[in-house]
């Protein structure tokens, strides 16, 4: 399995020289047996993160998988957080090394081919370390300093992009490189989710990404990075039914104006609490405190926390679908920019629901099914928009567009890796030049 393959050599990379934590012995250095124990803990942690997620990973699960005792674990690590950030550092080093292998990408067909080969390597890196990528959002909460330190590895990858395309290290170019790095990571996630259903295969994704990135940095070049749609396979249509609501709870009934106002206050408070604390750590106490209402008021409108987040997800999903239906992919610059400003405003107000949707997948089958219907509807709508171009792979490009408008606001508002203005400017350029083959 990819995760196991990545974990087999992780100890040597994740810790430069294995050491024993104080006060476990007078000599901090460990021998061959200690190195093997540390390696098994790294491997066990990587597998547990992949199977149960970061929030549900416990030291007990890691030690069981590693075949060691809790005291042995604490000789090398202070907590599961400690293990995660050492694994994340190892991943960052590998990303930097991969960036160093990105060759010069010229404006001819050979450049597209070389870029596709490198993106294929990146996809392998993601596949091997998927649990670390997936856990970053949850692990970052309460560890802002470590998250910011990890941004250094992303910056190095951004510089590798600019160097490969002969771009100067200007702020605008940095934002483009940062945006495309985020898109590569997110599209690799989409591919792993969709691979089982056969909606998109790996080579299809790699080739589509290479075309878009090449157009972005070298401009549209017919016959090189613009391929007309030919007969044969077209983008696979994902059914787009009307998004049926999640089954009603016992509290879904007509309310008086005052009740509607109280319920609205609770939902608005939840949209702020969720990104700050995450789905797993957000409590009813936090929500009612932020809303300035009593616990009794909360339970008058919602059965429990899951019922509350069900309502939040349904509201955010509906708003997202409605707004994306008005995305002017073929409009002029100002029209697209105005839409993006509206999108960023919406994301800032209820982005907590969007950014933590992945964490909410354990909240019940109904919420999972609802999120899948939303994703199918959005993807198909974007495919329909992009098919009108007459070139490229509309499905892959729809995934790129979805990744772009999902992750750029996240990097701006949640991670603080980029300013809102730079994120909007980069999105405009990537959509127009990378996806629509128009002047930016």
Show pLDDT as tens, one digit a residue, over the chain (440 residues). 454 455 455 544 554 545 554 544 444 545 466 678 889 999 999 999 988 888 889 999 999 999 999 999 998 899 999 999 999 999 999 999 999 999 999 999 999 999 999 999 999 999 999 999 988 888 887 787 888 888 888 889 999 999 999 987 688 899 999 999 999 999 999 898 887 777 788 999 999 999 999 999 999 999 999 987 654 344 454 444 444 444 555 555 667 788 889 998 998 888 888 777 777 778 899 999 999 999 999 999 898 888 888 788 778 777 888 888 899 988 899 999 999 999 999 887 766 666 666 565 555 566 666 667 777 778 888 998 999 898 999 999 999 999 999 899 988 887 888 999 999 999 999 999 999 999 76
Q: Computed over its alpha carbons, how large is the radius of gyration of the chain?
A: 23
User: What's the pLDDT score for residue 15?
Assistant: 46
Nearest to 346 by CA among 295, 409, 392: 409
3-state secondary structure of 27: coil
The pTM (predicted TM-score) of the whole model is 0.84
Check residue 161 and report its DSSP letter: H
In the block, tokens 């990075």 appear at 225
Burial of 257 (0-12, 13-18, 19+ CB in 10 A): exposed
Q: Encoding tokens for residue 112?
A: 């597209």
- Alpha-carbon gap, residue 184 to 431, rounded angstroms: 15
Nearest to 103 by CA among 116, 90, 91, 93: 116
3-state secondary structure of 127: helix
- What separation in angstroms does the CA of 34 have from each of 28, 38, 180? 11, 6, 41
Burial of 299 (0-12, 13-18, 19+ CB in 10 A): middle
- What separation in angstroms does the CA of 208 have from each of 84, 107, 369, 396, 405? 32, 16, 28, 6, 18
In the block, tokens 């300013």 appear at 419
User: What's the pLDDT score for residue 289?
Assistant: 93
Domains of the chain (ranges, CATH numbers) = 2-78 (1.10.10.60), 86-229+391-435 (no CATH), 241-389 (1.10.357.10)
- Alpha-carbon gap, residue 298 to 302, rounded angstroms: 6
């Amino acid at each position: 399995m990819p995760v196991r393959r990545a974990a087999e050599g992780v100890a040597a990379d994740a810790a430069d020289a294995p050491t024993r934590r104080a006060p476990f012995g007078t000599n901090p250095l460990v021998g061959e047996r200690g190195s093997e124990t540390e390696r098994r803990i790294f491997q066990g942690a990587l597998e547990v993160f992949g199977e149960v997620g970061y929030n549900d990973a416990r030291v007990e699960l890691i030690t069981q998988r590693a075949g060691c005792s809790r005291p042995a674990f604490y000789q090398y690590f202070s907590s599961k957080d400690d293990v995660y950030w050492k694994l994340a550092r190892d991943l960052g080093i590998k990303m930097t090394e991969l960036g160093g292998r990105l060759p010069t990408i010229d404006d001819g067909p050979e450049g597209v081919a070389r870029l596709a080969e490198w993106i294929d390597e990146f996809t392998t890196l993601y596949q091997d370390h998927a649990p670390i990528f997936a856990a970053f959002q949850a692990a970052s909460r309460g560890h802002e300093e470590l998250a910011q330190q990890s941004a250094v590895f992303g910056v190095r990858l951004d510089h590798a992009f600019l160097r490969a395309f002969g771009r100067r290290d200007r702020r605008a170019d940095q934002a483009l490189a940062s945006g495309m790095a985020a898109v590569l990571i997110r599209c690799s996630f989409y591919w792993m989710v969709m691979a089982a259903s056969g909606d998109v295969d790996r080579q299809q994704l790699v080739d589509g990404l290479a075309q878009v990135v090449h157009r972005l940095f070298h401009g549209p070049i017919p016959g090189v990075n613009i391929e007309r749609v030919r007969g044969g396979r077209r983008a696979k249509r994902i059914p787009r039914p009307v998004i049926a609501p999640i089954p009603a709870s016992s509290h879904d009934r007509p309310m008086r104006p005052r009740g509607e106002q109280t319920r609205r206050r609770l939902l608005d408070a939840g949209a702020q609490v969720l990104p700050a604390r995450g789905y797993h750590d957000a409590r009813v106490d936090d929500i009612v405190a932020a809303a300035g209402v009593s616990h009794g008021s909360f339970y008058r409108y919602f059965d429990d926390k899951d019922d509350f987040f069900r309502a939040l997800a349904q509201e955010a999903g509906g708003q997202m679908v409605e707004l994306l239906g008005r995305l002017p992919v073929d409009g002029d610059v100002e029209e697209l920019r105005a839409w993006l400003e509206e999108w960023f405003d919406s994301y800032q107000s209820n982005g907590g629901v969007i950014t933590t949707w992945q964490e909410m997948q354990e909240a019940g089958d109904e919420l999972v099914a609802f999120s899948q219907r939303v994703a199918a509807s959005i993807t198909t709508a974007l495919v329909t928009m992009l098919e009108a171009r007459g070139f490229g792979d509309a499905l892959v490009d729809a995934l790129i567009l979805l990744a772009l408008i999902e992750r750029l606001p996240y990097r701006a508002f949640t991670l603080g890796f980029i300013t809102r203005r730079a994120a909007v400017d980069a999105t405009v350029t990537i959509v127009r030049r990378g996806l629509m083959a128009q002047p930016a």
